[in-house]
Amino acid sequence: MTTTNDHTDNAVTAESWRHLDELLFQEAWRHRLRRIRSPFAYRGHSRCRPDLTTGLIRVGGDLVAKERHLVRNFRKYARRGFVGDDSLWNWLALAQHHGLPTRLLDWSYSPYVALHFVTHRADRMDRDGEVLMANLIRVQQELPLPLKELLDTEGSDVFTGEMLSRAVNSLDDLAEFASEPFAVFLEPPSLDDRIINQAALFSFMSTTDSEFGEWLSKRPDAWRRILIPAELKWEIRDRLDQINLTERVLFPGLDGLSAWLGRYYRER
C-alpha cells in the first residue's frame, strides 16, 4: 500500500482491483446492524484534480447576486417540468441535475458509480484518476446545532429538501446559521431514472464563495482520496461493463445507449 505523508493530500494509491475494493469499503461494516452500510459519499474523477470548484464559482462575478438570478429564473422557466414539493433545496437539486451552475457538487452513495466516472472517458484512460470519499457522519458533526439535531431526530446522515426546509428556507438564512462556513449533504428527490440509478447525492457549502475541497482539507479525518493508476483503469472499466454498470444504466435513454456502444467497441 502506498500512502502520502501530507495530511492535506490524504491519498492512498490503489494497487489492484482487490486493493481498490477494500479501500472503497473501509469502515462500511456497521456492528449494530450487522450489515454493510458505508458512511462515505463517493465522487470519481477521470484525472487527478484536487480542487472541488462549483459551477457557480466558475461563473465568477458577484456570486451572491448571480446565484439569486440563476435560481429565480430557473424556477420561473422550469416550473412546468418540476415534480416534487416547492422546497428551494429540491429546486437547487433539479437545477444542478440539469446543468445549471449552482453551489452544489455531485456525489454518489455508490463507489462503483464513482468508478464509472473515473473510467468513462476513453481519451483519458492513459491518465491517473481518483475517487474522493467524504465521511457523511463526520461532516454532520460540523453542522450548527439546530441542523444537527434535525438529522439526529430523523436518524439520517443527510438532508432531504423537505427536511432542510423545516429549519431554513433561504440561502441567506443558511449563511447566518454560523459564523464559519459549514458543509451540507442533500439527497435529491427521485426526479428521474438517471438520478435514481446514479444513487445521486449533492454537497454544498453554507456560503457561495466557500470551496468544499478547502473545507475538507482542514479536516483530514473527514475524507479520503484514492488514486487510480492509469494502468489499472482498463481492468476497472471491463469489470464495470461486466456487471452492467454502464452509460446505458446510468444515463437511461438513447443518449446513454449510444455513449455505451461507442465506448464499448472503441479500440484500446
Question: In the predicted model, what is the mean pLDDT of the chain?
Answer: 91
Window from 85-99, 193-207, 218-232, 238-252 with minimum mean pLDDT: 85-99
- Eight-class DSSP state of 31: T
* Contact between 70 and 100 (Cβ < 8 Å): yes
Q: What is the mean pLDDT of residues 109-116?
A: 98
Q: pLDDT per residue over 165-199, tens digit each?
A: 999 989 989 999 998 999 999 999 888 899 999 99
Number of other CB atoms surrounding residue 39 within 10 Å? 17
Rg value, the chain, Cα: 19
Q: Shortest CA distance to 203 belongs to which of 193, 190, 191, 216?
A: 216
d(CA 47, CA 5) in angstroms, rounded, equals 21
| Structure-derived torsion over alpha carbons of residues 175, 135, 200, 182, reported in degrees to the nearest 10 | 0
Cell numbers given for 206: 453554507
Cell numbers given for 36: 454493510
Cell numbers given for 37: 452500510
**pLDDT > 70: percent of the chain:** 94
Res 264 pLDDT > 80:
yes
pLDDT confidence of residue 2:
37
pLDDT confidence of residue 169:
87
Q: Shortest CA distance to 210 belongs to which of 56, 81, 72, 87?
A: 56
Between helix 63-78 and helix 88-97 the angle, nearest 10°, is 90
Total residue length of the chain: 268
Window from 12-16, 72-76, 243-247, 264-268 with minimum mean pLDDT: 264-268
d(CA 170, CA 88) in angstroms, rounded, equals 7
Cell numbers given for 67: 446565484
Q: pLDDT per residue over 225-260, tens digit each?
A: 999 999 999 999 999 999 999 999 999 999 999 999
The CA-to-CA distance between both ends of the chain, in Å, stands at: 28
**pLDDT > 90: percent of the chain:** 79
Residue 178, classified by CB atoms within 10 Å of its CB into exposed (0-12), middle (13-18) or buried (19+), is middle
Contacts 24+ apart (CB under 8 A), 160-169: 160/89, 160/186, 160/187, 160/189, 161/84, 161/85, 161/87, 161/88, 161/89, 161/90, 161/93, 161/186, 161/188, 161/189, 162/85, 162/87, 162/90, 164/87, 164/89, 165/85, 165/87, 165/88, 165/89, 169/88
pLDDT confidence of residue 83:
58
pLDDT confidence of residue 211:
92
